[in-house]
């Protein structure tokens, strides 16, 4: 039976355990809000199937019968609902998986694994039929469900004279509005960026698991805007760099960061020249991830005067959007300004 047709369950406890069998060995921790495909149940246990995406560089072939892959990254790797999507769980090194051929790319692998979860950590997800002509994205994988076949086409005429109801217009499924006062996030599972009032006009740009990326339509006073210098990108998130590092390599951007400390590059950061000075920072704010900013010799004195947790605005060139081992962006510092 296709996964999309089976019962689904949402994890209600952050860090709920995924078991090898009912009451058996604990295998991995699950994220609250992760959606799982249901199977058999047994007393207080629910059989489930994890279905998600993992970095291709974090898995490798395994000789274990019945499985295709095992997690090779230590100590663990994230399983996501779609490439760069919402977190499903953290899989430890050695965790066994099966590959799903559909949708697998060079950078991401679509995988599954059957197991068990305590029923107390789950809630059933209602199956809602969609009345829209376009099929919605699947809540776990971001893949579109099959849409019903279209009605037979009418013979072509010189003009379509089918009348519309008075005052009506064709429906654009990408145009939506907030149903209630809604928190706007910079990235899935990220920090809040603001609050939308009810009925705020939005345009859907994409979907990832339980998240929808939207573009806000509205107006602001021109005096409240700051235009970036020519050739400098603003409004780019670290998540965007990690998702498509080749697209942003060599681009200049402006980020607000929280300075943590200065460090010397070692073998764990092969993207930075050995022994080079770099800034360990958090951001871009309000994101909570880490960023490495390589500091040229001429800028070292300015960095030495900074106190930990100082907020700074940097203009920097993207060296790489995602490091090999830790997945953090690396920038080359061009200029830095301390913010109040």
For residues 194 and 189, what is the distance between their CA atoms, to the nearest angstrom? 14
Structural domains of the chain, count = 3
Domain identity same for 190 and 110? no
Does 145 fall in a domain?
A: no
Is residue 25 domain-shared with residue 104, that is, in the same domain? yes
Is the residue at 322 inside a domain? yes
Q: Is residue 297 part of a domain?
A: yes
The verdict on 197 and 277 lying in the same domain is no
140-165 per-position pLDDT tens digit: 333 434 444 444 444 433 333 344 44
Q: Which of 185, 200, 204, 219 is nearest to 288 (CA)?
A: 185
Q: What is the pLDDT of residue 114?
A: 94
Are 299 and 210 within one domain? Answer: no
Indicate whether 210 and 245 sit together in one domain.
no
185 and 264 share a domain? no
165: in domain: no
Look at residue 314 and tell me if it is in a domain: yes
pLDDT digits (tens, 9 = 90+) for 23-73: 999 999 999 999 998 888 888 999 999 999 999 899 999 999 989 999 999
Q: Using the 3D structure, point to which of 124, 143, 163 is the last residue of a domain.
A: 124
Does the CA dihedral 219-255-282-77 come out positive or negative?
positive
CATH number, domain at 303? 2.40.50.140
* E strands in 12-135: 16-19, 26-30, 35-42, 45-55, 59-61, 69-71, 76-80, 87-92, 96-99, 108-118, 122-125
Same domain, yes or no, for 244 and 331? yes
Q: Which residues of the chain have pLDDT under 50?
A: 1-5, 128-169
**Does 205 share its domain with 291?**
no
254 and 189 in one domain? no
Domain range for 189 is 175-216
pLDDT at 6: 65
Cα–Cα dist 141/266, whole Å: 37
* Residue 162 maps to a domain: no
């Amino acid at each position: 039976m296709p996964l999309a047709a089976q019962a689904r369950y949402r994890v209600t406890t952050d860090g709920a355990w995924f078991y090898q069998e009912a009451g058996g060995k604990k295998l991995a921790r699950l994220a609250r809000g992760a959606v799982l495909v249901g199977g058999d149940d047994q007393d207080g246990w629910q059989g489930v199937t994890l279905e998600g995406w993992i970095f291709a560089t974090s898995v490798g072939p395994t000789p274990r019968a019945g499985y295709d892959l095992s997690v090779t990254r230590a100590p663990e790797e994230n399983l996501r609902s779609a490439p760069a999507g919402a977190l499903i769980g953290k899989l430890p090194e050695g965790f066994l998986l099966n590959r799903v051929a559909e949708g697998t790319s060079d950078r991401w692998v679509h995988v599954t694994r059957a197991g068990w979860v305590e029923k107390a950590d789950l809630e059933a997800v209602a199956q809602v039929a969609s009345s829209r002509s376009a099929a919605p994205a699947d809540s776990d994988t971001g893949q579109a469900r099959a849409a019903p076949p279209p009605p037979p086409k009418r013979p072509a005429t010189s003009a379509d004279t089918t009348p519309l109801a008075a005052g009506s217009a064709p429906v654009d499924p990408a145009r939506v509005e907030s149903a209630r006062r809604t928190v706007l996030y910079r990235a899935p599972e990220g920090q809040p960026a603001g609050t939308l009032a009810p009925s705020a006009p939005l345009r859907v740009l994409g979907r990832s698991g339980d998240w929808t990326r939207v573009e806000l339509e509205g107006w602001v006073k021109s005096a409240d805007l700051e235009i970036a210098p020519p050739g400098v990108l603003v409004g780019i998130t670290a998540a965007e760099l990690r998702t498509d590092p080749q697209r942003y390599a060599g681009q200049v951007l402006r980020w607000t960061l929280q300075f943590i400390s200065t460090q010397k590059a070692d073998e764990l950061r092969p993207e930075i020249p050995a022994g080079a000075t770099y800034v360990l920072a958090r951001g871009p704010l309000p994101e909570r991830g880490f960023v490495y900013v390589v500091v040229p010799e001429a800028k070292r004195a300015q960095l030495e005067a900074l106190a930990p947790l100082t907020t700074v605005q940097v203009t920097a060139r993207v060296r790489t959007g995602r490091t090999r081992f830790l997945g953090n962006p690396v920038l080359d510092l061009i200029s830095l300004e301390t913010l109040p």
